[in-house]
Structure 1
Amino acid sequence: MSELRKAAEVSDQEIDAAVDAVLEVLASEVYRLTEGWKLDLVGAIAGRKAAQDALLTDKPAYKRNMVRTAILLAHPVKG
């Protein structure tokens, strides 16, 4: 995901929306990004222990930062 962000194919607002989707309701459905990219949010979180642990805390800023990091480290697919 960070490569897409650096190439300006995905905006900060779209990343924020993906973070919000995780924090509101983490579903197994694929999350659609702009320009035909999609991301498995459950897989992104499942692949990062720190993000999983953060979701169990009562620290909103920490939770948001760890989820954002997991999303940035994820690998979206074209489709």
Structure 2
Amino acid sequence: MAKRPTTAELYQAKLIPEEDVVAAVEAFMANPNTSAFLMGHGYALDLHAAVAASPFALGVLATPDAKPASKRIAVRTAILLARPV
């Protein structure tokens, strides 16, 4: 069985626009429990699960003195590495 593409692969193929990736990051930052987030044409991603699966993102988010920009970059990375359905 072939693996589903990552958000980054869908983004590179122009199936998920930049605006949706930015909106996903902002949605997570506003509510870390956000689950189903719609992206592109018919893709959905559990933002909470995507970030929870990233040790890097969890580490940055848990660092008290991490800058907001660093947190957003870590969340964006986790989202780009995740595999939407």
Same fold (TM over 0.5): yes
Mapped partners of 1:21, 1:63: distance in 2? 13
1:75 aligns with 2:60: no
1:21 aligns with 2:27: yes
Q: What TM-score, normalized to structure 2?
A: 0.83
Mapped partners of 1:39, 1:23: distance in 2? 15
Amino acid corresponding to residue 25 of structure 1 in structure 2: N
Mapped partners of 1:70, 1:29: distance in 2? 14
1:32 corresponds, among 30, 38, 42, to 38
Amino acid corresponding to residue 44 of structure 1 in structure 2: A
1:54 aligns with 2:69: no
Q: What TM-score, normalized to structure 1?
A: 0.89
Structure with bigger gyration radius: 2
1:5 corresponds, among 1, 8, 11, to 11
The gaps in structure 1 that reach 5 residues or longer are none
The gaps in structure 2 that reach 5 residues or longer are 1-6
Deviations 1:37-73 (A, max 9, x none): 0001111101101111222334111101100000000
Query: How many aligned residue pairs are there?
Result: 77
Q: Which runs of 4+ in 1 moved over 3 A?
A: none
More displaced, 54-63 or 3-12? 54-63
Q: Judging by fraction of residues, say which structure has more helix.
A: 1
Alignment identity in percent? 40
CA RMSD of aligned residues (A): 1.2
**Residue 64 of structure 1: aligned partner:** 72
